[in-house]
A and B are shown apart, each in its own frame.
Chain A
Amino acid sequence: MVLTGRAAALAAIGAVVVAAAAPSWAGVLGVTAVVLALALTDVLLAGSPRGLRLSRDGERNARLGMTATVRLSVHNAGRRRVRGLLRDAWPPSAGVVADRVAVDLPAGERRLVETVLQPTRRGDRTADRVTVRSLGPLGLAGRQGSHAVPWTVRVLPPFQARRHLPSRLARLREIDGRSAVRVRGQGTEFDSLREYVPGDDVRSIDWRATARHGGVVVRTWRPERDRHVLIVLDTGRTSAGRVGDEPRLDAAIDTALLLGTLAARAGDRVDLLAFDRQVRADVARLDATNVLRRMVGALAVLEPELLETDYRQLTAEIMTRAGQHALVVIVTGLDSSAVELGLLPVLGRLTRRHTVMVASVADPRLAELAAGRGDSDAVYTAAAAEHDRLARAQVAELLTRRGAHVVDQPPADLPPAVADAYLELKATGRL
């Protein structure tokens, strides 16, 4: 049972009555008894929340930054009218715009309550309870009850790097030869033979075919297709570090989305793996039609784990997924100790068979701190920042020397930088 402000107000008005008419213990008791009796009547006359039948439908997915609407159908199966307040409780990060609504439901009727969510974080948001406070006719008191009406809205990553996609796709078409320009790259795949037109690179003349054909024939080239791209997200402790306003992992997810979409459009086979000490997400054989939907679905619930990533096991996972030569893109953080103990020892095994790209989310704050001058505190901080930058540079150098391609950029620049590095490899036929 619940009381309302009205009951308290009534008791307060009773104070005037007591003071004026019956200034005694009996007066106090009498007035209080009247208030309580009225409240009890109200409770007895209030419709029971237990008699409600609730169900939900509506959206199950929402992109971060957009809204999702979940409908709650409330059916009063009880015998009395239910009048009062309904709260559809969600976790704070679900961003419910208004979680309390007034309901007035005669017996046997049904209403639809719309809950608008504006999620503030990625991941699954599960509805908590629906609580109904049903008041009696006097509005002094009532009953309250909760129902479990399960529903989950998956909040998908925002894919902010999407804006870089058109320019990269244009670049891809350029390389692909669907556009006018044809680039002859070293090691690109042989496509077809055609007659020489002035302006063609004389180096691409196929003399043997020319001899057979009679006219001058050139070879044309096209970029490699059907290559294997394996994107690996490190969800270990380095991914938990917050750079700017979001964890490294979010930048990594954006990077994976841009690269995956691009590679799938380029006709490559894209696999995705998220790993720390176990596989957190595993999406295989993405193609251009479903790449974004499947990746976004798998990455939405990814959370950084406070674990040291097990690179030995990760290497084994990579090897089982990519038997032939593949481009392995490891998105991680260039934390010197983590890389030296984890990635470096296994890098040789990876580079022997695959092309390895290490994409790292850099922290622009480091550069900010390193530029600090003016007083001794700032200079000590700058020295510490320089220490870390030197360590990162050394790690990057070590990785480069062992044959990995290193891309180290701040969160906003990392997705396009990795996409560019991929296009570069593709253009030069090094996939």
Chain B
Amino acid sequence: MSTTTAPPESRPLDPTGADHWRRWRRPLAIVVLLLLTAVILGVVQSRASRGYLDPEGVDNPGARALARLLTEQGVDVAPVRTNADAVAAAGPDDTVLVTVPDLLTPTQIDRLVDTGARLVLVAAELRVPDYAPGLSAVLVGAPGSADPHCDLPVAERSGSARLGGLGYTGDVSRSEGAACYPVDGEPALAVTATESGGQVVLLGTADPLTNEYLDDDGNAALALGLLGASERLVWYRPVPEQDADAPGAFTDELPGWVRAGAWQLAIAALLAAVWRARRLGRLVPEPLPVVVRASETTEGRARLYRRGRSREHAAELLRAAAIRRLAATAHLPDGEAGPGAVDALITTLAYRTRRPAAEIAALLTGPPPADDAALVRLADDLDALENAGVPRATGTSPTGKDLRSS
């Protein structure tokens, strides 16, 4: 064998490292830019807006101002997010501010109530009976300046405050209850007791606590009075969570070696996927030719006849074809034969088949069939006439076309 290779010499096609870099650097740059933007935006956003009644929030719905005031008053503010933390942090002498009371499940509410801590609930609606039996929430007018109209010392001290949104109706007299700041006739601030006897304060709206309205009316005095009553304030901003005593995933019950083995098997499966995913070279496309059945249009026309139930047309065609073939084999002129030619054909056929001419005429030129069954019969009768009336056609017509296949 010669050492020089024949003309069609190979050319490696796979990209080198530099090619990869050249190809991917722009998408990579775009992704990095996007990530950077997202991070920067996230940081800026987290400074500005930390959410509703956040003790660190400086935007309108935040409550940093209130938290600062409370701390200056010597109240120990303890922000918590989970139910377990809240229950652990709250003692019988403490106050718990629940910013979204409706987010807690009945079990979590029970556990919170059982701590015996004083509860301040902001805009509680659906879960009100779970916290304070005998009370329920009703919708009242939007928050606005309201007067106390009650003898609750805090309320009397504060004077008018921004309240509304939700009102609390029901019996508040179980402990030293109070119903203050009526809006549309229903108190927007209710003080009552939980099942276990702890005090619970229901506040119809968060407005008096927020940065936005804290310095209006008597809002600040009311908020400080409600939340600063005890040494310690547990600032509970609930997150949706499952009941802690719900059954855990079954994987928690498995022994450690099973889990470790399963993870390793998963890695093996991943490697197997990588192994199977890589093709040995790319797929080769096949330049397919156009494939249309030549009889496609015929079948389409057949479907049209069928759908339109055009028996008249179909019968006409079958008759025309039969007349054409019969005429060719009966040595009569075919093609655009006039009625005279058909009459001649009928006479010939009647003579050959010894059937009445009227019957053959009805078959070849009669009225169109009344229904599909009649059409099928007509086709069969035409076949019978062709078979009986003439010797089987074996040649070809003058045009060289097949006369009829059996």
Residues of A within 8 A of B (CB): 2-5, 7-9, 11-12, 14-20, 22-25, 27-28, 31-32, 35, 49-50, 52-57, 73, 75, 85, 87, 89-93, 100, 110, 121, 123, 128-131, 133, 144-151, 240-243, 247-248, 303-304, 306, 333, 362-371, 373-377, 379-390, 392-393, 396-397, 400, 406-409, 417
Contacts and interface: CB of A to CB of B under 8 A. Distances in A.
B405 interface: yes
- Which among B275, B286, B335, B405 has the greatest number of chain A C-beta atoms within 10 A? B275
Nearest to A121: B289
A158 to B, nearest CB: 16
Nearest to B293: A242
B146 interface: no
B264 A14 contact: yes
Given A16-B261, A363-B295, A383 B290 contact: no
20 contacts: A8-B271, A24-B256, A24-B260, A28-B260, A28-B263, A50-B14, A53-B9, A75-B5, A89-B282, A91-B284, A91-B285, A128-B281, A146-B282, A247-B290, A369-B295, A374-B376, A379-B372, A396-B399, A408-B399, A417-B400
Contact of B10 (A148, A243, A390): A148
A308 to B, nearest CB: 14
Contact of A23 (B256, B275, B282): B256
B367 interface: no
Contacts of B398: 397, 400
B321 interface: yes
Contacts of B355: none
A4 B274 CA distance: 8
Nearest to B406: A371
Given A14-B267, A148-B10, A363-B294, 4 more contacts: A23-B261, A365-B294, A382-B318, A384-B301
Contacts of B268: 8-9, 11-12, 14-15
A377 B373 CA distance: 11
B250 interface: no
B127 to A, nearest CB: 41
A385 B298 contact: yes
A55 B8 contact: yes
Interface string B256-289: 1111111111011101101100101110111101
Given A380-B314, A390-B321, A110 B1 contact: yes
- Which among B269, B282, B295, B297 has the greatest number of chain A C-beta atoms within 10 A? B295
A21 B181 CA distance: 70
B302 interface: yes
Contacts of B10: 52-55, 130, 147-149
Contacts of A303: 289
Contact of A146 (B7, B13, B261): B13
B264 A241 contact: no
A128 B302 CA distance: 44
Interface string B294-309: 1111110110111000
B404 interface: yes
- Which among B257, B262, B274, B317 has the greatest number of chain A C-beta atoms within 10 A? B317
- Which among B264, B268, B285, B290 has the greatest number of chain A C-beta atoms within 10 A? B264
Contacts of B14: 49-50, 144-146
Nearest to B373: A376
B400 A408 contact: yes
A101 to B, nearest CB: 11
